[in-house]
């Protein structure tokens, strides 16, 4: 089952299935079990609302949702007419027992495989976790209990369409009357915290633009984003802007909260305050870091200010639609007027550097095809791609093409930049130059390695030259759309004329010609895309050239080890994930 496809778990609302006993019992068994081994007759559930919880220990989304459901279940037990039955999708009884031990509700015995299969079929369960809720007559109320509980918690009881309509209407009324006080005040507290334990009345935030910052010390992307947010916050305060941030911690321990909050100059909710959970549900916070922006009137202005800050920095303030429209218009005008010099020249610098810190005027590059190479020493995919790009660069130079590359370092220090730049034959932006941030934002660079190509007229030709280089090598030049279409036509002809399946001495199974978006060739250890000879069983790929080269003696294709590209994971900046062939901020 696909863990993230619970929305596909559907059955007809209002449909009456068989009685609970018919659904949950068999000829030899008329009971369910608790996690201590006690048996409970199925007939005891008749006349109750019953949730059928399809879940498994091996499923991370299930293990994440089960504690949430446990809290809701304990609250609803007080009503006396609600229960849950665990229907396991585990692979062995030990896993079932270990997982059931974390649940306060009943379970179908793991040994009754036939009943578990019948229930999956009866309720068309195509993904887990899935919670199907039946009313007191056995009619299906909803198969989307997981989503409903995530959104409305115990308030959703008894999960009927009428109750959900009530909650939605209530929510709309709350949003219409929303103020910063209605969001942040509680029955026990009329303040938020400053540093040194000072209490700041929530009323003092009225009339300000307020950011609600959901974050946690344990979260790498949060720790990566927080310094950027601190810089913007401090700059806005220096300008005299009426702006404040309130930190809503997702940390699990108060010590971690205190350590993390010490790095922040703004306000915070007290640790473990229930308001954080309420606001997470209210704003449907999908993950962290999340920055919600409230306007001076307390109404919601933006729910994704993290993305806006990454794109525009401080220029996104005050995050209103009008401001974003202005920025988009400015950006469009900048693209219309884009030249190589507008991209690479700054007030302090009109040059890029070569090895030995030799200066090369940007004006000397005008009229050439120039690639901007965003890369870093700490990034394994970058270290793997750079030799491949070097080969292409040297080949194009030997052909006399008017082509150049400018390295834009994403490294953390000068030494790493210099060590990495030694391996490159092209030009570079000086390390630490502020133009790097501007270019990253302008081109929306989300992951590295990234290769942006600017044409002889200074306009962007492609933002995905990395894929083209991996697929076509030097033949990708000059990277134009018309040229790519010709290459795609050639590739199509090559695929049509290639065998659909081959045998390869370095792999035990036949390899099938397969369309693959991205992969790493197991023959030459280089990136690839579009097509490969592929073994699904082993996740083994070969470039078409590697696979078809010298088929009379395929054993000469040695699998590249490329151990020089191994990088200590500790070298990576916080909040960075290297996933396959790309490193990005999560």
Q: What is the DSSP string of 494-531?
A: HHHTS-SEE--TTSSS-EEEEEEEEEE-TTT--EEEEE
Q: In angstroms, rounded to a whole number, what is the distance separating the alpha carbons of residues 133 and 453?
A: 54
Supply the pLDDT for residue 566. 43
Burial bucket for residue 558 (CB in 10 Å: 0-12, 13-18, 19+):
exposed
Sequence-distant (≥ 6) Cβ neighbours of residue 2 within 8 angstroms: 126, 127
Q: What is the pLDDT of residues 79-131, one digit of tens each?
A: 999 999 999 999 899 999 999 999 999 999 999 999 999 999 889 888 899 99
Q: In angstroms, rounded to a whole number, what is the distance separating the alpha carbons of residues 503 and 368?
A: 44
- Strands 49-55 vs 130-134: parallel, antiparallel or unpaired: antiparallel
Tokens of 576: 């960075």
Say which CATH class 180-329 falls into: alpha beta
Structure pTM?
0.60
Tokens of 473: 């090598």
Phi, psi of 579 (to 5 degrees): -115, 105
- Strands 527-535 vs 540-542: parallel, antiparallel or unpaired: antiparallel
* Residue among 370, 367, 371 at smallest CA distance from 457: 367
* Residue among 97, 87, 95, 142 at smallest CA distance from 119: 87
Q: What is the pLDDT of residues 400-410, one digit of tens each?
A: 999 999 999 99
Tokens of 331: 């950006």
Question: CA gyration radius for the chain?
Answer: 29
Q: Sheet holding 576-579: strands in order across?
A: 447-448, 582-585, 576-579
Q: 306, 327 in Cβ contact below 8 A?
A: no
Sequence-distant (≥ 6) Cβ neighbours of residue 115 within 8 angstroms: 24, 25, 26, 108
What proportions of the chain, in percent to the nearest 5, are helix, strand and coil?
A: 40, 20, 35
Supply the pLDDT for residue 5. 37
As beta bridge partners, residue 267 has: 246
* Residue among 178, 196, 54 at smallest CA distance from 115: 54
Sequence-distant (≥ 6) Cβ neighbours of residue 377 within 8 angstroms: 383, 409, 411, 416, 417, 419, 420, 567, 571
Q: 543, 529 in Cβ contact below 8 A?
A: no
Q: In angstroms, rounded to a whole number, what is the distance separating the alpha carbons of residues 67 and 52?
A: 16
Burial bucket for residue 493 (CB in 10 Å: 0-12, 13-18, 19+):
exposed
Q: Is the peptide bond before 158 cis (omega within 30 degrees of 0)?
A: yes
Provide the H-helix boundaries in 56-100. 60-76, 93-100
Q: In angstroms, rounded to a whole number, what is the distance separating the alpha carbons of residues 510 and 533?
A: 9
Q: In angstroms, rounded to a whole number, what is the distance separating the alpha carbons of residues 409 and 378?
A: 11
Q: In angstroms, rounded to a whole number, what is the distance separating the alpha carbons of residues 98 and 94?
A: 6
Supply the pLDDT for residue 554. 40
Supply the pLDDT for residue 575. 53
What element of type H or E holds 199? strand 199-201
* Residue among 124, 273, 134, 125 at smallest CA distance from 212: 273
Q: Where are the domains of the chain?
A: 20-170, 180-329, 340-479, 498-549
What element of type H or E holds 134? strand 130-134
Sequence-distant (≥ 6) Cβ neighbours of residue 238 within 8 angstroms: none
Q: 535's torsion region: left (phi>0), alpha (psi -120 to 50) or beta?
A: beta
Q: 388, 469 in Cβ contact below 8 A?
A: yes
20-170 belongs to CATH 3.40.30.10: yes
List C-alpha distances in Å: 469 to 345, 449, 497, 549: 27, 12, 23, 19
The arrangement of secondary structure in 340-479, i.e. its CATH architecture, is 3-Layer(aba) Sandwich (3.40)
20-170 and 340-479: identical CATH topology: yes
What element of type H or E holds 200? strand 199-201
Phi, psi of 86 (to 5 degrees): -80, 125
Question: Residues in the chain with pLDDT < 70?
Answer: 1-18, 529, 549-586
Tokens 């080949």 appear where?
Answer: 395
List C-alpha distances in Å: 383 to 149, 327, 424, 567: 45, 35, 11, 9
DSSP state of 127: B
Phi, psi of 317 (to 5 degrees): -65, 135
3-state secondary structure of 304: coil
Q: In angstroms, rounded to a whole number, what is the distance separating the alpha carbons of residues 106 and 20?
A: 14
What element of type H or E holds 344? helix 340-344
List C-alpha distances in Å: 306 to 21, 189, 311, 316, 491: 51, 28, 9, 10, 40
> In degrees, to the nearest 5, what angle opens at C-alpha 495 toward C-alphas 492 and 498?
150
């Amino acid at each position: 089952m696909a863990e993230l496809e619970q929305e596909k778990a559907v059955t007809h609302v209002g449909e009456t299935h068989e009685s609970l006993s018919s659904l949950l019992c068999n000829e030899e068994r008329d009971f369910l079990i608790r996690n201590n081994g006690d048996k409970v007759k199925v007939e005891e559930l008749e006349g109750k609302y019953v949730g059928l919880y399809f879940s498994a220990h091996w499923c991370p989304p299930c293990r994440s949702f089960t504690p949430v459901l446990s809290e809701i279940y304990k609250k609803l037990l007080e009503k006396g007419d609600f229960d849950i039955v665990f229907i396991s999708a585990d692979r062995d009884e030990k896993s079932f027992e270990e997982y059931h031990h974390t649940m306060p509700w009943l379970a179908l015995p793991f040994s009754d495989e036939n009943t578990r299969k019948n229930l999956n079929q009866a309720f068309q369960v195509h993904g887990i976790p899935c919670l199907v809720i039946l009313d007191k007559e056995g009619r299906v109320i909803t198969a989307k209990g997981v989503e409903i509980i995530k959104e409305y918690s115990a308030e959703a009881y008894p999960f009927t369409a009428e109750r959900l309509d009530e909650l939605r209407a209530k929510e709309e009324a709350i949003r219409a009357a929303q103020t910063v006080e209605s969001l942040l005040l509680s029955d026990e507290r009329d303040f938020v915290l400053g540093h040194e334990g000072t209490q700041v009345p929530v009323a003092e935030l009225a009339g300000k633009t307020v950011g609600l910052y959901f974050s946690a010390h344990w979260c790498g992307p949060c720790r990566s984003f927080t310094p950027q947010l601190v810089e913007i916050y401090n700059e806005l305060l220096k300008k005299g802007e009426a702006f404040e941030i309130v930190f809503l911690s997702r940390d699990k321990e108060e010590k971690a909260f205190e350590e993390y909050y010490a790095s922040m100059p703004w306000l915070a909710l007290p640790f473990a305050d229930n308001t954080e959970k309420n606001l997470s549900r209210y704003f449907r916070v999908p993950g962290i870091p999340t920055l919600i922006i409230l306007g001076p009137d307390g109404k919601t202005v933006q729910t994704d200010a993290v993305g806006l800050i990454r794109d525009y920095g401080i220029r996104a303030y005050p995050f209103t639609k009008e401001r974003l429209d202005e920025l988009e218009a400015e950006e469009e005008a900048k693209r219309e007027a884009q030249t190589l010099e507008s991209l690479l020249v700054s007030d302090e610098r009109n040059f890029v550097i070569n090895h030995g810190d030799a200066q090369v005027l940007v004006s000397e590059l005008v009229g050439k095809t120039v690639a901007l190479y965003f890369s870093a020493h700490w990034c394994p995919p970058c270290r793997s791609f750079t030799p491949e790009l070097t080969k292409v660069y040297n080949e194009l130079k030997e052909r006399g093409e008017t082509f150049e590359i400018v390295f834009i370092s994403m490294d953390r220090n000068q030494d790493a930049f210099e060590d990495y730049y030694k391996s490159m034959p092209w030009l570079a932006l000086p390390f630490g130059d502020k133009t790097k941030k501007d270019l990253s934002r302008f081109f929306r660079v989300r992951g590295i390695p990234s290769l942006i190509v600017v044409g002889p007229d200074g306009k962007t030709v492609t933002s995905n030259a990395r894929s083209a280089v991996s697929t076509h090598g030097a033949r990708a030049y000059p990277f134009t759309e018309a040229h790519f279409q010709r290459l795609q036509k050639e590739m199509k002809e090559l695929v049509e004329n290639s065998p659909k399946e081959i045998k390869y001495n370095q792999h035990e199974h036949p390899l099938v010609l397969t369309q693959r978006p991205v992969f790493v060739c197991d023959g030459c250890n280089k990136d690839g895309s579009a097509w490969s000879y592929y073994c699904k069983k082993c996740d083994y790929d070969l470039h078409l050239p590697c696979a078809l080269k010298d088929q009379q003696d395929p054993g000469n294709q040695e699998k590249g080890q490329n151990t020089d590209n191994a990088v200590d994971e500790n070298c990576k900046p916080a909040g960075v994930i290297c996933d396959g062939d790309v490193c990005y901020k999560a």
